[in-house]
Homo-oligomer: A and B are copies of this chain.
Amino acid sequence: MHLEDCESPVERSCCLIELDANDGGNYDIVNDVSSPAAGDCCSRQSSARHNWEMNYQEAAIYLQEGENNDKFFTHPKNAKALAAYLFAHNHLFYLMELTTALLLLLLSLCEAPAVPMLRLGIYVHATLELFALVVVVFELSMKMRWLGFHTYIRHKRTMVKTFVLFVQFIEAIVVLVRQTSHVRVTRALRCIFLVDCRYCGAVRRNLRQIFQSLPPFIDILALLLFFMVIFGILGFYLFSPNHSDPYFNTLENSLVNLFVLLTTSNFPDVMMPSYARNPWSCVFFIVYLSIELYFIMNLLLAVVFDTFNDIEKKKFKSLLLHKRTAIQHAYRLLITKQNPSGISFKHLEGLLRFYKPRMCARDRYLTFKALNQSNTPLVSLKDFYNFYEVVGLKWKAKRNREHWFDELPRTAFLIFKGINILVKSQAFQYAMYTVVAVNGIWILVETFMLQVYGVELLLKTTGLGPIEYLSSGWNFFDFLVTLFAFLGLLTLAFNMEPFYFIVVLRPIQLLRLFKLKKRYRNVLDTIFELFPRMASLGLTLLIFYYCFAIVGMEFFAGVVYPNCCNTSTVADSYRWLNHTVGNKTVVEEGYYYLNNFDNVLNSFVTLFELTVVNDWYIIMEGVTSETSHWSRLYFMTFYIVTMVVMTIIVAFILEAFVFRMNYMRKNQDSEEDNGIVLEKEIFKEEMVALTELYKINCATYEVAQLQKIIAQMDKYEQPSMLFLGRRSRTKSDLSIKMYEEEIQEWYEEHSRKEEYQQRQEALPSSSNNPLKPLGLRQRSQTVI
């Protein structure tokens, strides 16, 4: 069936809203509902509508793919695939994915070597594992249905996941059959299940970025290791004649110690024996550290930082263009032959129903008005390009009555008004800061001023209204701080020993003082912005930790214990003795045996200690002395891996901060950053027409919503109502402003490529064209 049917006079008469632009954005809805009864109309067109629904859904999927940076070749190709796609793309499914992945990861707490309290029988944990794996199989089969076999095979990550799944399955069955755990280093691969989760998109991006930064990293690392080797040989030649020097007696020792020296961990001990013999030998170490630590290491950071910057920009560019393409695809599905130059409200509304099911009718209309900049009844492609920027706005009626208490009786209103003015005044601000400062001194003499904050909090909440109060990041911060302080007070009052430490958190209130200075505000704003990315980077690091923890447990569980490493150079740190020398008791407490790989939690702590780097060689040497020289490989690899991740983290913080500062400098004159705000006016007539439309379409819920708004307008006797759309500024918005000029070039280049591609497409296309339409594309393509 062809689309023209849908645009038949019968349908038009009841479905299409025609909007004519009058001056000033004031729309008249010319609603030509002439004769047919609404109910009659609804039933008659269900078939045409069904086809349109397919288009809406597909367009919504395109837009989602654009937003999530999903490649279009995974776009569902037919109705069956679409069903599977819809099944696999909702939060319930995502949650299932996440839970199974977490379950699999957490199993390592209970598998031997387990955390003592959580040990489970082999039957139990193997069965749990099998169960989780079966769930993963189910997830993958849904994915296969959606992607189709060919795309499935071509999707690398999924293939790796399938392979790991297969291995894990076999191993779990083997464990069940043999009823004993064998060496299962492959458990380290379980991470892939977490990484593949929908919710871990940020982790995947981080990993990609890490891999992209690797080539320059490896280059500089080679330079670093090259110098290490040269100095290693030189050091061996120079210091091996000194027999009291245990650090350079063999070439291997020499190299290992210079590697450790890269981390400064054994300095100055490594220098001391030779320095004691000849003071000038310090030159060797000074030169080595100057070259390696202070120069090449910084160069490493510089190179990674530079690559990182470059990648960030490229990523931004490709995402921007990807979104643009997604919008083009969606646009093609939403225009009709009658209106090839734009999308009518009806179709945008249909799209939004799928793209944002929870958006209310009013907001859909506001989105349409916000998109429509040309004041015609249609949203052109140029307007539609702003889709992502506009659809994120949260709309709120701009109240003529500014304050939440405007509707209260006169006396109450005056009181609250006074509080409102007080709270917003500069004097109040500074008075509060003075209180904070005084409090800072106060705390030191251990007195409590907390009530003042309680009162401030109460005042602010009443003066601004609870929602407005908490919607400001800074007020929220105040709130948290005061809450903590209150908890501290309670703890003190009821003398709850275990929570005593909360009392000590009270000085955190002093952080308020930092608000005073612009630089701190910048820094703290940057921290707020960075937080999500930092969290995902932290998660990425944890995934690496997990892999290394599993490997460490498999190889090193139980190898270190008190008094274990007496043959090594670090025996002292592991010595745990209570012996009597002469007439006094000598207690030697070497705690390093605690840094072991006996279970997952211990391994994580040990790995954190290795990350911090200081004295890591004690742990390495301890383990090495109990196992083999090859164990060093594990520790050195771990060092290099954390170095990569840490360098990326530093580069990331640098980039984010420098970007923000540059942005601030570029837009110095602009107003305080309140996020993005858009204002739209809706007239009562428009509302009425909209209600009529929904009535015809039998959408009773929407009708009720809209009638409520009309009732409100009636109550205040307003001819129109102002709505504010608001959302916080994202990095993407900043980037768009920063790269303003370049973006135009990118677009032009992109559209040139597009044109070229379209000319190619005009030729008979191959059968597995990923952009093959679901339902009605053929038509819409001919329209463009």
A interface vs B, CB < 8 Å?
216, 219-220, 223, 226, 229-230, 233-234, 237-238, 244, 264-269, 272-273, 275-276, 279, 282, 286, 289, 293-295, 298-299, 301-303, 305-306, 309-310, 500-501, 503-505, 507-508, 510-511, 514, 517, 519-520, 523, 526-527, 534, 581, 589, 591-592, 594-595, 601-602, 605, 608-609, 612-615, 646, 649-650, 653-654, 656-658, 661, 665
Contacts and interface: CB of A to CB of B under 8 A. Distances in A.
A293 B233 CA distance: 34
A216 to B, nearest CB: 6
Contacts of A519: 216, 219, 303
A77 to B, nearest CB: 40
Given A237-B500, A523-B299, A612 B272 contact: no
Contacts of A592: 272
Contacts of A505: 230, 234
A276 B591 contact: yes
A527 B519 CA distance: 33
30 contacts: A216-B519, A223-B520, A226-B511, A233-B507, A234-B501, A264-B614, A266-B614, A267-B614, A269-B591, A272-B591, A272-B594, A276-B591, A279-B605, A282-B605, A293-B612, A295-B534, A298-B650, A298-B654, A299-B526, A299-B527, A299-B653, A301-B650, A301-B654, A303-B519, A305-B658, A306-B657, A306-B658, A306-B661, A581-B581, A614-B614
A654 B302 contact: yes
A398 B265 CA distance: 57
A404 to B, nearest CB: 35
Contacts of A602: 279
B264 A302 contact: no
Given A219-B520, A306-B661, A238 B272 contact: no
Given A219-B520, A505-B234, A507-B233, A264 B612 contact: yes
B299 A594 contact: no
A507 B273 contact: no
A339 B649 CA distance: 63
Contacts of A295: 527, 534, 653
A595 B268 contact: yes
Contacts of A282: 605, 608
Top 5 A-B pairs, shortest CB-CB distance: A272-B591, A302-B657, A264-B614, A234-B504, A298-B653
A437 to B, nearest CB: 13
A268 B523 contact: no
Given A237-B501, A614-B614, A591 B267 contact: no
Contacts of A273: 589, 591
Contacts of A268: 595, 609, 612, 614-615
A303 B523 contact: yes
Contacts of A605: 275, 279, 282
Contact of A265 (B226, B517, B614, B654): B614
B650 A608 contact: no
A508 B230 CA distance: 7
A34 to B, nearest CB: 61
A279 B519 CA distance: 38
A289 B601 CA distance: 18
Given A276-B594, A299-B653, 4 more contacts: A268-B612, A269-B591, A269-B615, A282-B608
A305 B264 contact: no
Given A219-B520, A302-B657, A650-B298, A267 B234 contact: no
Nearest to A115: B279
Tell which of A293, A504, A520 has the most Cβ of chain B within 10 Å: A504
A590 B31 CA distance: 95
A658 B594 contact: no
Nearest to A238: B501
A657 B309 CA distance: 13
